[in-house]
Amino acid sequence: MDRLLVISPVRNEIAHIDRVVEAMAAQSRRPDVWVIVDDGSDDGTTERLRQRAADLRFIRLVEMPRQEPAAGDRLVAAAAPKAFNAGLAAAEDCQDGFVAKLDGDVELPENWYAELLARFEADPRLGIAGGDLIEPKRGDWKLLPIPQHHVHGALKLYRRECFDQIGGVRECLGWDTIDETYARMHGWETRSFSDLVGQHHRPSGSAQGRLRGRARHGRCAYIAHFAPSWVLLRSLKIGLKSPPVLSAIAFVYGYVAAAVRRVPRVEDPEFRRFVRSELRGRLLSAIRLRPA
């Protein structure tokens, strides 16, 4: 049986970590190793994880010193992928089969990994996969829309062959778009399955404010070589989200600010050409499918 390694970067997740651990313990296909990387929590998360690791032997707890980025935005500073790679280094005895990333605020249904691994077995070209997420909103749960070809960065599962071929997880903003793009460049499929649904207890993009999150997404688009024309079209859709209009302005601002500051982009001409070609293809498909 292929081995399954799960890595979870966490920080200050005391409100959610117990339900996340219980959901993992209840998996019909538990991970062989679950590395939880605590990035300097100061709310009791570290102490609680020490207790849970003593009870569940497949957990390995890695405690990192607290690191504060100079700009004050941990996502821009790529704190999560850095912690993920620290967890990967701590599991050198589990370097084959499959590797997954799971955030410390995502609660999974008990069949999550069993179902995904079965789908990898059925499709040898499937390289990266995941499912949908629902998030709390006004006392209810709301589905977080996502294109089928994209996989939420909070809960990715990689075939190890694909993971190694694309160079793993890059320590930069936009890593969860870059990895999928490289996977498709190498002929792998990337997919989210809508019948698998996890609970994301903290809304996406809400860290340090919703508008800052929109600007962060614009910066991601610049780093990944998305064309200005695509950004403008995308902003029309984003402008309908909360807060309306301001969301679009923040998204475009993030893209333009990154361009003005010459934020480092993916230094690969083939990557840039592939991204632009994919975007043109999706736009043309959308136009053809639009009713007259």
pLDDT digits (tens, 9 = 90+) for 119-163: 999 999 999 999 999 999 888 999 999 999 999 999 999 999 999
Question: Alpha-carbon distance 157 to 177, whole Å?
Answer: 14
Question: What pTM value is reported for the model?
Answer: 0.92
Question: Alpha-carbon distance 167 to 139, whole Å?
Answer: 41
Task: Kindly tell me the burial class for residue 81, based on how many C-beta atoms sit within 10 Å of its own C-beta (0-12, 13-18, 19 or more).
Answer: buried
209 φ/ψ sector (left φ>0, alpha ψ -120 to 50, else beta): left
Query: What pLDDT was estimated at residue 239?
Result: 92
Report, as an integer, the average pLDDT of 186-211.
Answer: 86
Q: Distances in Å between the alpha carbon of 38 and those of 10, 23, 194?
A: 5, 19, 30
Q: How crowded is the C-beta side of 43, counted as CA atoms within 13 Å?
A: 10
| Average pLDDT over all residues of the chain | 92
pLDDT category of residue 71 using cuts at 50, 70 and 90? low
Query: What pLDDT was estimated at residue 189?
Result: 98
Residue type, 71: A
Residue pair 59/5 in contact (Cβ under 8 Å)? The answer is no
Query: What pLDDT was estimated at residue 251?
Result: 95
pLDDT category of residue 292 using cuts at 50, 70 and 90? very low
Report helix angle 228-238 to 210-223, nearest 10: 160
Question: Alpha-carbon distance 13 to 263, whole Å?
Answer: 31
pLDDT category of residue 205 using cuts at 50, 70 and 90? low
* H or E element at residue 232: helix 228-238
Query: What pLDDT was estimated at residue 121?
Result: 97
Report, as an integer, the average pLDDT of 95-114.
Answer: 96
Q: Distances in Å between the alpha carbon of 41 and those of 17, 46, 99, 166?
A: 12, 6, 24, 31
Is the model's pLDDT at 208 over the cut of 70?
Answer: no
Query: What pLDDT was estimated at residue 73?
Result: 58
pLDDT category of residue 283 using cuts at 50, 70 and 90? confident
Query: What pLDDT was estimated at residue 139?
Result: 86
Residue spans per domain, the chain: 4-200, 210-289
Query: What pLDDT was estimated at residue 232?
Result: 93
Residue matched to tokens 């975007």:
279
Look up the CATH superfamily of 4-200.
Spore Coat Polysaccharide Biosynthesis Protein SpsA; Chain A (3.90.550.10)
DSSP for 93-116, please give it.
Answer: T--SSEEEE--TTEEPPTTHHHHH
Cis peptide, bond prior to residue 109, ω within 30 of zero: no
Query: What pLDDT was estimated at residue 8?
Result: 98
Q: How many CB atoms lie within 10 A of CB 78?
A: 19
